[in-house]
Structure 1
Amino acid sequence: MAEKIQAVKGMNDLLPPESAAWEWFDEQVRRVMRAHGYQFVRTPIVEPTALFVRGLGEVTDIVEKEMYSFEDSMNGDKLTLRPEGTAGVVRAITEHNFLYEGGRRLWYAGPMFRHERPQKGRYRQFHQVGVEVLGFPGPDVDVEIILLLRALWRALGLSVGEGCDVRLEINSLGEPSERQAHRAALIAHFEQHADLLDADAKRRLHSNPLRILDTKNPAMQGVVESAPKLIDFLGEASLAHFAQLKAALDAAGLPYRVNPRLVRGMDYYNLTVFEWVTERLGAQGTVCGGGRYDGLVEQLGGKPTPGVGFGIGVERVMLLLAEAGALPAAPVPDAYAIVPDAAALPRVLATLDALRSEGVSVLLHPLGKEGAASMKSQFKKADASGARFALIFGADELANDRVGVKPLRAGEGAAQSTQPLDGVAAWAGLLRG
């Protein structure tokens, strides 16, 4: 026997019944996006490596040690499996001059790839749903996408706010010049306490000191807490943008925490940054992160264009939904078709097609090579399928151009009836419930 081939470590299969929960999640996302007027966009999984080096920053963890990059053996191009979605969307709208007619509200969904240690809720192939809004500079759009997320959490059955399933944290990163002043102050502070820094912090000290603030090392919490706060370096315009954001969130009745240590892992962010976090998943508590990136379009070769967006970690949201008991029950067919004899299949299939066109889901029992199966075994399979009704295409029923309809579940009634084969529309509602 040939040796089994297994999936790549950290890249997981999705099989029923779990896949049904993902389908339901996708449906909720599409419904919320449509309600807010957002349009779907799809970009390639493979992009030029330079896109992410330029867009994310050479000294970010993603670029330094997490990207799946390779050289195309056919032409020598340097390519990368996308580690996040924003850079690809910005590349697409720039390449196709997609902002010619004004701003855009876009969303995407799909797999991303990062080479990191697989753990619960954090995998090498993971999935994101994201939004990118381009061409609108005001904090009103920042609030819009945050409230869109509130609508999504509610559609998924999650409670929102302090002490609930998810809560909002916000911060402002200011503008690049303000961050530069804060960066210099951070470096000076951490240099004065170099003996307290771990190896990772020392590596980042002169390349990306802002990321030190995001450390999870308990031994460094004191030196981080005493570090200069970015908000003390913000100018009048940045403070006004942040104040308007908070005022709009207050007006919408959405509670939030201002977290001065909240940063994002990519270099392109400015002004508003936010995260939706949960206490239910331990260390993997961030389920969504986003913010404003007004310089990224120009950085990637386009005209100066403001932008703001977010990315949702779907695996983490699915874990949260399971933990919160918010996942729906796995779907079951409305009916299970029992066919004692393959000779009846032409009439059976025509009837099932008519039922499905009326919105009834029907599972047909396979008859196998023999072209027949016992009624007892078929009823057993019908019951195991979870279907609410059995459709019995027996010889007596078909001789009278009818089909037997037998309830299989409590609450559906106990009486078996027969229905006409040529009048499906009149009784399909009985099966849909």
Structure 2
Amino acid sequence: MAQRVQGTEDLYGGYMRAWERMCRTAGELFGSYGFDRIETPAIEQVATFVHGIGESTDVVRKEMFRVFSGALMERLLESGSESGLKAKQRLALRPEGTAGVVRAAVEHNFVPQGASPVKVWYGEAMFRGERPQKGRLRQFHQVGVEWLGAEDPAADAECIIMLMEFYKRMGFDPSTLTLRINSMGDAACRPAYREMVRDFIYAHREEMCEDCLERAEINPLRSFDCKNERCREVMREAPLVTDNLCDDCREHYARVKAYLDEAGVSYVEDPTLVRGLDYYTRTVFEVEVAGSGVGAIGGGGRYDGLMELEGGKPTPGLGFAVGFERMALALEQQGASLEGERPACVYVACTPEERDAVFSATLALRQAGVRTEADYQGRSLKSQFKQADKEGASLCVVLGPDEVAAGVATLRDMSTHEQVQVPMASLVDEVRARLA
């Protein structure tokens, strides 16, 4: 029997309604802030992700799914090396959304010189070759935003405010959410800080894992994010970025916090927060849910150098992403659900000889935008009523020989079981009025 790949899930029924609700809420909220939707390809050149996410990250080194055609795979197996591949032949499934959006912004010149900032949001599947576990899938879904061309710290604060409002609209108790923020510095102050952290790691090399020693060469700040508990203990004594910010970064960070304070958004400063991707600069943030056991359910930050890394002109940028599956698990822990109510439905029931009348009635109702179901298996009326209950129908339209002969329909309220007869000519209007 064909089976889904481990670490993936089928979205259908209530779970699909939950994902649709998340995207719908995102569109409404982010749209009010001026964000338009974008969709980029699920498959990109490997370089798109390596440039931005960083070679030292676990995402690039261990988790990114590579994509090859059958013919190309045969060539690779024969040669035993990728050295002969062109850039356009080195492909990967997207492990996150930002790099692809920035690639699109560079390719299509979203932000020409002197233009207003561009704001986009997405709701898409992402792919990572992780060991499947609670809240970590190989195909997962994210809603995210990217804001290109804005360097004002007010933009950082507005993104965070919008993110926290999003969680509120999705049903979270705000008192259970912890927003952690930090500043990672920029090109002016971070190089010196990186050297300080590298020296610290080398001074404690006997206590650090092999991955962290490798990270020390490529990006020592990644060691703050190591999953090894001993490394985490050691790194708690490492120099802190907030003690080594330049004046501009310190001022930027202070203004972001001042805006959050003005908006009444609670936060915890975490000077060890570095996020999992290399492209971040200055403001970074994450949100966790107390007692959920799923880790961060969303986060983001500023990435002012990413456009250049992808081949574009210097352009500031920032954004965030929210994980659908993790958010659903966290809400479940709070006794809530993302699913929402099933859409209102009308069921048209009939005796076998009145099947043609049902076809006409369902056609008219559906053309009026009413979600309508009917029997297509020759069930008895009693069975059709049971099926109407299973479908969650709020109304049932009954068509028997007497109704058809009189040009009427019996309208049955499925919750109260009250019945009234209405002329067929006014059935659609009566049904819409009752559903409203």
* TM-score normalised to structure 1 length: 0.91
Q: What corresponds to 2:297 in structure 1?
A: 287
CA distance in 1 between counterparts of 2:291 and 2:405 reads 59
Does residue 379 in structure 1 map to residue 385 in structure 2?
yes
Q: Is the 8 A contact 1:332 1:387 kept in 2?
A: no
- CA deviation profile, 1:367-397 (whole Å, cap 9, x unmatched): x3xxx43212212222332222221111111
Q: For the aligned residues, what is the CA RMSD?
A: 1.9
CA distance in 1 between counterparts of 2:133 and 2:198 reads 32
- CA deviation profile, 1:106-148 (whole Å, cap 9, x unmatched): 1111111111101111111111111110011111111111111
- SS of 1:93's equivalent in the other structure is helix
Q: What corresponds to 2:99 in structure 1?
A: 87
Structure 1: runs of 5+ lacking an equivalent: none
CA distance in 2 between counterparts of 1:218 and 1:83 reads 25
Paired residues in the alignment total 418
Letter in 1 for 2:385: F
Q: What corresponds to 1:277 in structure 2?
A: 288
> Displacement, 1:206?
2.2
> Residues 143 and 98 of structure 1: is their aligned pair in 2 closer, same or farther, counting only changes over 3 Å?
same
Q: Is the 8 A contact 1:390 1:408 kept in 2?
A: yes
Q: How does 1:8-407 map to 2 (within 5 A)?
A: 8-72=5-69, 77-100=89-112, 101-160=115-174, 164-282=175-293, 284-327=294-337, 328-331=339-342, 333-341=344-352, 343-366=353-376, 368=377, 372-407=378-413
Q: What corresponds to 2:82 in structure 1?
A: none
> Displacement, 1:151?
1.9
> Residues 404 and 85 of structure 1: is their aligned pair in 2 closer, same or farther, counting only changes over 3 Å?
same
CA distance in 2 between counterparts of 1:224 and 1:129 reads 32
- CA deviation profile, 1:282-306 (whole Å, cap 9, x unmatched): 1x22011211111110111111100
Of 117-126 and 356-365, the range deviating more from structure 2: 356-365
CA distance in 1 between counterparts of 2:233 and 2:43 reads 42
> Displacement, 1:203?
2.8
> Displacement, 1:322?
2.1
> Displacement, 1:221?
4.0
Of 195-204 and 71-80, the range deviating more from structure 2: 71-80
- SS of 1:206's equivalent in the other structure is helix
- SS of 2:320's equivalent in the other structure is strand
Letter in 2 for 1:199: E
> Displacement, 1:313?
1.1
> Residues 71 and 386 of structure 1: is their aligned pair in 2 closer, same or farther, counting only changes over 3 Å?
closer
Letter in 1 for 2:427: V
CA distance in 2 between counterparts of 1:405 and 1:241 reads 64
- CA deviation profile, 1:326-375 (whole Å, cap 9, x unmatched): 3244415432211212x533432332233334443221122x3xxx4321
* TM-score normalised to structure 2 length: 0.91
- CA deviation profile, 1:169-205 (whole Å, cap 9, x unmatched): 1000011231211111112222222222233323322
- SS of 2:145's equivalent in the other structure is strand
> Displacement, 1:414?
4.1
> Displacement, 1:216?
3.9
Q: Is the 8 A contact 2:301 2:318 kept in 1?
A: yes
CA distance in 1 between counterparts of 2:286 and 2:236 reads 20
Of 346-355 and 143-152, the range deviating more from structure 2: 346-355
Letter in 2 for 1:353: L
> Residues 392 and 70 of structure 1: is their aligned pair in 2 closer, same or farther, counting only changes over 3 Å?
closer
- SS of 2:5's equivalent in the other structure is coil
> Residues 74 and 102 of structure 1: is their aligned pair in 2 closer, same or farther, counting only changes over 3 Å?
farther
> Displacement, 1:73?
5.3
Q: What corresponds to 2:80 in structure 1?
A: none
Q: What corresponds to 1:421 in structure 2?
A: 424
CA distance in 2 between counterparts of 1:329 and 1:311 reads 22
CA distance in 2 between counterparts of 1:311 and 1:87 reads 12
> Displacement, 1:208?
2.0
> Residues 104 and 330 of structure 1: is their aligned pair in 2 closer, same or farther, counting only changes over 3 Å?
same
CA distance in 1 between counterparts of 2:19 and 2:268 reads 30
CA distance in 2 between counterparts of 1:78 and 1:225 reads 38
